[in-house]
Structure 1
Amino acid sequence: MNPSTDRRPGPVARGLLSFWAPSTRSMRGWALASVVANAGITVTGAGVRVTASGLGCPTWPKCTPDSFVPVAHPEVSMLNMLVEFGNRLLTFLVLAVGAACVIAVWRMAPRRPALVRLALLQPVGVLAQALWGGLVVRSALNPFTVGTHYLLSTGLIAACWLLYARAGEGDGPARPAVHRDVRRLGHVLLAAVFALLVVGVVVSGTGPHSGDEIASRFDLDIEAVARLHADVAYVVVGLTFALLFALRVSGAARPARRAALGLFAVELAQGVLGYTQYFLAVPAALVMLHVLGSTLVWIAALRVVTSLRVRDPLPAAPAPSPAEAPAAV
């Protein structure tokens, strides 16, 4: 055996090949990496808020009026500046992963237009988020702009998850993997989870941890919005339990039942964390964990919905008969 021809590519070469000469497995790996990256920057964004570092870099796109990187500033703590600047730097990591997804779907053979469209949403979404982040800074952390920043992230996570799910499927028409009414229940559940996230944003914009002492707050009763948040959470848990029951009695496939059970478990953990956070007067560390939990609930809900349908490969085009084949010239 010739060692020179049996040499396996190194880790750098394998990494390049994973998106330059992608397989279905490597394509799904990059899509999953994009889910993780977007979820991660969502959680670190909460870290910026709870450490009061929201205006650590008081200008945008520069960190200070005279520099793109942190420099000593008489009115801003260097620690706050580094926290905010670090979160800005993570944007480039998320953008790089999104670019790798675009290259991978473009290089796939055959090229799949549905995957190309989903992958292109990532760099476009990241750039839109970066511009919106500038508005967040320029509005002095207005709770509406901060909350919208989070909700835009949930949209990006949804696009990344759909890319991951679609990369492992065919391109044929979607067909239900469960009864039509069960699938509708799954869609209602997803809408309820999104409503829960929206109410959670209102709670965050009303309560403490505004990101900076000069940031404004929603003029709402925190007790009332917290109770509303809990009520919507009960609806979500009830819908999840109903879906679990429906999947069980209808004999649904194992992937759908496992996805629903995973969502139910994450919801219960998030509920325990939410009540603990409330009774401990909303400590910063638990706020970050709660944002992580809400992101995991959203991803788990997306997983449930995509498990309720399947796609078959498109039928291969029939080969032309010899009589229809053009004569060789």
Structure 2
Amino acid sequence: MVPVAERSSSPNPLTRARDAVWHPTPGSLRLLALLGVLGNAMIVATGGAVRVTKSGLGCPEWPRCTGDSLVPTHSAEHPALNMSIEFGNRMLTFVVLAVGFLVFVAALRLRPRRRALVGWAVAQPMSVVAQAVIGGIVVLTELHPASVALHFLVSPALLVFCVILWVRAGEGDAPPRPLVGPRTRRLAAVLLVACGAVLVAGTVVTGTGPHAGDADSRRWGFNIEDVTRVHSALAWITVALTVATAVVLHRTDAPPAARRRVHELIALELAQGAVGYVQYFLGVPAPLVVLHMLGAVLMWIAAWRLALSLRDRGPLTRPAEPKPVTATKQTPQPA
């Protein structure tokens, strides 16, 4: 058997990639988990590109792109660009599924095995499959806003698994020890709920506005200004809760990691708010819609990282190195 040190130092990138999955270390598993986070954030952005380019029905069938082809083909009813954008988003789903499967295999192969990590890892490929099925429902319902909203919201739900695995892969398995008081933990929990409410309200705004995925797709019958105000109010409530959390963390001398996380979240919220107001006053230009959707999931990731930084599960214990076997000197025996 090849020693771990030799496998990790191989100059062949394919060998190193294989070993990261088949002979994982805590570091390589955490890297794979980070790829899962990035992949699921990116698929939100590409999904936004599908919507703003009116490519939601670029591939009018599912799981095939058209009635007789898995891939985009010439069609008089669907422009080639729209078909390519929608098909590209579908292909990215398979990439994210592959990453999720590799994460699961690495979690199974990690020695010593950590059952909690296996549980968080198995949820990832299963959730991506659910996402693909919901994507098919979106196409078959011709972009009904309820199915489109569900399709988007599955990604933040999946990101919860990805972020927790990413964080847990770098810490120990001791029972969680709170690093702040119960009031601060409750405040962080309310902040997570507020972030989730902003995401839900954002799907209603998108389903009511001009970027519903296709020129003929159904929209919600709400007044766009009313739902935008609700979305904006929830966003301001989230900012207020984040600032309150930052104040409490500083006054209670919370760990530096927690204070860094809350500063990151405030910065993302301010940037997200700026993008939101600019796109509103400019008539919701397509590139800013995609940027706003990406900002939304980055905020969600930051909020969960903040919540997870308020407890400690001890240091990551690494397996002991095997002791070298030395030959023992034999004492001559009398004949």
For normalisation by structure 1, the TM-score amounts to: 0.92
In the TM superposition, what is the alpha-carbon distance from 1:314 to its structure 2 partner? 9.9
Once residues 179 and 293 of structure 1 are traced to their aligned partners in structure 2, the CA distance between those partners, rounded to angstroms, is 30
Matches within 5 A, 1:76-155: 76-155=78-157
Identify which range, 255-264 or 177-186, moves more after superposition. Answer: 177-186
Answer yes or no: is the 8 Å Cα contact 2:25–2:110 preserved in 1.
yes
Structure 1 runs not aligned, ≥5 long: 316-329
Q: Is the 8 A contact 2:171 2:316 kept in 1?
A: no
Whether the 8 Å CA contact 2:163–2:301 is kept in 1: the answer is yes
1:172 Cα deviation after fit? 1.7
- Give how far 1:177 is off: 1.2
- Partners of 2:314 and 2:268 in 1: how far apart? 30
Could you tell me which runs of 5 or more consecutive residues in structure 2 were left unpaired when the two chains were aligned. 1-5, 318-335
SS in 1 for 2:65: coil
State the partner residue of 2:293. Answer: 291
Task: Output aligned runs, 1:69-80, within 5 Å.
Answer: 69-80=71-82
Q: Distance in 2 between matches of 1:249 and 1:151?
A: 35
- State the SS of the aligned residue for 1:59: coil
Task: Spell out, residue by residue over 1:134-185, the C-alpha distance to the aligned partner (whole angstroms, 9 max, x if none).
Answer: 0000000001000111100100111100000111121121111111211111
- 1:313 CA displacement: 6.1
| 1:9-48: CA deviation from partner (whole Å, max 9, x where unpaired) | 4111111111111111111100000000011011100100
Preserved contact between residue 170 and residue 312 of structure 1 (Cα < 8 Å): yes
Question: Against the structure 1 CA distance between its residues 314 and 97, is the aligned structure 2 distance closer, same or farther, given a 3 Å change threshold?
Answer: closer
Q: Secondary structure at the match of 1:200?
A: helix
Residue 27 of structure 1 aligns with which residue?
29
The Cα offsets for residues 69-123 of structure 1, whole Å up to 9 and x where unpaired, read as 1100111001100000011010111011101100110001111111111100111
CA distance in 1, matches of 2:69, 2:179: 55
Amino acid in structure 2 at the alignment position of 1:155: A
Letter paired with 1:223: E
Say if 2:166 is the partner of 1:164: yes
The code of the aligned residue for 1:123 comes to P
Q: Deviations over 1:124-143 (max 9, x none)?
A: 00111111100000000001
- Of residues 241, 256, 259, the one that matches 1:257 is 259
Given that 1:267 and 1:297 are in contact with CA atoms closer than 8 Å, whether structure 2 keeps it comes out as: yes
Instruction: List structure 1 segments (4+ residues) > 2 angstroms apart after TM superposition.
Output: 5-9, 312-315
Alpha-carbon distance in 1 for matches of 2:153, 2:124 = 15
- Give the one of 202, 222, 228 matched to 1:220: 222
State the alpha-carbon separation in 1 of the partners of residues 196 and 40 from structure 2. 17
Q: Secondary structure at the match of 2:85?
A: helix
Other structure's SS at 2:189 match: helix
Indicate the SS of the match to 2:124: helix
Counterpart contact for 2:72–2:83, Cα < 8 Å: yes
Deviations, residues 196-244 of structure 1 (Å, cap 9, x unaligned): 1001111111111111112100110110010011100110000000000
Which residue matches 1:269? 271
Count of residues paired in the alignment: 311
Aligned 8 A contact 1:237 1:267 in 2: yes
Equivalent residue, structure 2, for 1:234? 236
Q: CA RMSD in A?
A: 1.4
Answer whether contact 2:10 2:16 (CA < 8 A) is retained: no
Contact 1:143-1:205 within 8 A present in 2 as well: yes
Give % identity. Answer: 51
Q: Secondary structure at the match of 2:174?
A: coil
Provide the rounded CA distance (Å) in 2 between the counterparts of 1:287 and 1:202: 14
- Displacement of 1:312 in angstroms is 2.5
The one-letter code sitting in structure 1 at the alignment partner of 2:41 is: A
- Structure 2: how far apart are the matches of 1:198 and 1:305? 20
Q: Tell me, yes or no, if the aligned pair for 1:277 and 1:283 is still in contact at 8 Å.
A: yes
SS at match of 1:208: coil
1:325 alignment counterpart:
none
- Give the whole-Å Cα distance in 1 for the aligned partners of 2:42 and 2:136: 19
Determine the structure 2 residue equivalent to 1:322: none
